[in-house]
Amino acid sequence: MAHECEDCGESFETLTRLRTHDCGGGVSSFGDASDVDIASDAGTSTSSSTTGRDASVPDLDDQLERVSDDEFGAVFAAVATFESAQSSALDADDRGDTYRDVFWSYYEPVADGLDAATRSEGWELLADVVAAYDPTEGDDISHATPVIANAVGRHVIRTRVTDGVEAVPVTALEYLDAVAVEAVDVDDTAVEETHAYGWGIGHPDHAVVDHLRERPSEAIYSINPVLEHAFYADQYAAVDALERLVRDESIDGGSANSRGMGASNRRYFLDCVYGLRTDDYWPSTPRYWDWHEELDYAFELDEAVEQRIRDLVAETGFDADLPDDWTFRDLAI
């Protein structure tokens, strides 16, 4: 399928080529804006940043307003403007204040808008965005990656709960995995939005555990929160995965203690069960969405699964430094 630029009329075979081409026409459906008007005065935006200042991007405000009025096609321009505004903000000589203002002011509304458009129009709309901002292309992942991964994570969880794992799009899982693998240290927010990848566990056409096992050593710490999500998706498949990973001594390699935690990578994986025996702790990603409340989701850990976890801790000797009456919360690192 060919994709045509609304500004210059040129056609492209892929959305990525459409998004990255330079025709000088500003922001089209997936275009980049080289000049974005950013205001940073208090009171100019309805979205507050964590710095206490406000950042206003008028074009983005207009696009988000159109999305809120059910003009869901405007979400493509909103994502592009969000990315371009961050790129422009990086050029400001203010120690990153403008960048943070733009990012945190618009993170939630853009993610919410993309999620609303996806719920209305279906996965095909979000799949177009995913294809246009492919994390495997280029040297760096897009500035828009956190909001895209947020919306993808919401879709994965919602689909798994309502329609079953087979209905989860493989391309959604591939995207979340690719972001986690391609991201670098400064992309921690984007990586946090990939934790919903765990809801793909047991998918007949995408081997989540195999992909986790193949992640490079620098991405090893993204596995634990994925396993945490996986327990809520399918606790039996998740405990199988946990046993496989914790028993694999090769995972520790030379990177044990690389975060100064005083624990091996395999011991760190056991932290994923921290909240399974409580009612007051739920995974907090995707951001700005209480998935267990919206989906009226209930979870109860099976006693047989709990015993398998306890047996695993004893088998691997990781109970040596735990109290005799240890609980899952004692496994926290």
Q: How many CA atoms lie within 13 A of 110 on its CB side?
A: 28
Question: Angle at the Cα of 257 (from 255 to 263), degrees rounded to 5?
Answer: 120
Does the structure show a pLDDT above 80 at 206? yes
What's 31's DSSP letter?
A: -
Place of tokens 């056409």: 205
Distance CA 318, CA 58 (A): 54
| Separation of CA 33 from chain center | 24
Assess contact for 4 and 15: CB atoms under 8 A.
no
Tell me the per-residue pLDDT of 104-144, one tens digit each, with 9 for 90 and over: 999 999 999 999 999 999 999 999 999 999 999 988 899 99
- Tokens representing residue 40 in the block: 């940073």
- Tell which residue, 77, 76, 99, has the closest CA to residue 87: 99
pLDDT band at 221 (very low <50, low <70, confident <90, very high): confident
The whole-angstrom separation of Cα 33 and Cα 233 is 40
Averaged pLDDT, 172-183? 95
| pLDDT tens digits along 227-282 | 999 999 999 999 999 999 999 888 875 444 444 445 678 888 999 999 998 877 89
d(CA 291, CA 284): 9
Contact 126, 151 (CB under 8 A): yes
In the chain, the N- to C-terminal Cα span, in Å, equals: 49
Helix (H/G/I), strand (E/B), else coil: 121: helix
The model carries a pTM of 0.84
Integer-rounded Cα radius of gyration of the chain: 21
Q: Between helices 123-132 and 74-90, what is the axis angle to 10°?
A: 30
User: Long-range CB contacts (< 8 A, 24+ apart) of 254-261?
Assistant: 254/217, 255/217, 255/220, 259/221, 261/333
* Residue where the block lists tokens 């990603």: 285
Q: What is the mean pLDDT of the chain?
A: 84
Taking the CA atoms of residue 271, residue 299, residue 159 and residue 68 in that order, the dihedral angle to the nearest 10 degrees is -90
Q: Is 4 helix (H, G, I), strand (E, B) or coil?
A: strand
Per-residue tokens: 19: 């998004």
Q: What is the pLDDT of residue 217?
A: 77
pLDDT (tens digit per residue) in 83-98 = 999 988 887 766 678 8
The pLDDT of residue 27: 39
Gap between the Cα atoms of 19 and 28, Å rounded: 8
Residue 229 token pair: 């999500």
Check: CB of residue 12 under 8 Å from CB of residue 3. Answer: yes
Look up residue 173 and give its two tokens. Answer: 């899982």
Contacts of 209 (CB under 8 A, 6+ apart): 201, 240, 241, 244, 245
For residue 271, what are the CA distances in angstroms to 101, 114, 117, 139, 231? 33, 32, 35, 32, 12
Over residues 234-248, the pLDDT tens digits come to: 999 999 999 999 998
